[in-house]
Amino acid sequence: MTTALILAVLIGAVSGSRTLLAPAAVSWAAYGGWLDLSGSWLFFLGHPVSPWVFAAMAVGELVTDKLPGTPSRKRPFPFASRIVGGAVAGAAIGANAGAWVPGLFVGGLGAVAGTLLFYEARRRMAAAFGRDRPAALIEDAVALTVALLVVAAA
């Protein structure tokens, strides 16, 4: 169970970077049979339509994130959305190990930490590059890599 909770924190941190990337990753994992969510309230993540819907929303978020008018992830609604995304994804990772409640909790905490840490890392990278776009693309790559590693290990 300890491994599952560590993975739940990490998938929550992914949501702190990109709100919908973590739910999309666990949805693909559930659909592909890597995560067994059939007996839990999270069964909907494994439905054949769910990964496509979450993936489309995640791609939309990746594009929207690069627009100049996108609000800060630290504003109340974006921050709360990241916590919810991380909590749901963490619950899915936890449910696979029979611990969806702790997974929900630590996934949400991971999202809080990920929101703040990814924000600061991106801010510093953007300052070093002199512009935001390269920092945003690096953040995308890191978040996607972590998401893939987490669902592969779950």
* pLDDT tens-place values along the chain, 154 residues long: 789 999 999 999 999 999 999 999 999 999 999 999 988 999 999 999 999 999 999 999 999 988 888 999 999 999 999 999 999 999 999 998 889 999 999 999 999 999 999 999 999 999 999 999 999 999 999 999 999 999 999 8
- Chain-centre distance of CA 122, in angstroms? 16
For residues 143 and 86, the answer to whether their CB atoms sit within 8 Å is no
Q: Which residue has the tokens 């703040």?
A: 116
Cα–Cα distances (Å) from 105 to 34, 37, 82, 130, in that order, read 22, 17, 13, 37
pTM for this prediction: 0.92
For residues 9 and 90, the answer to whether their CB atoms sit within 8 Å is yes
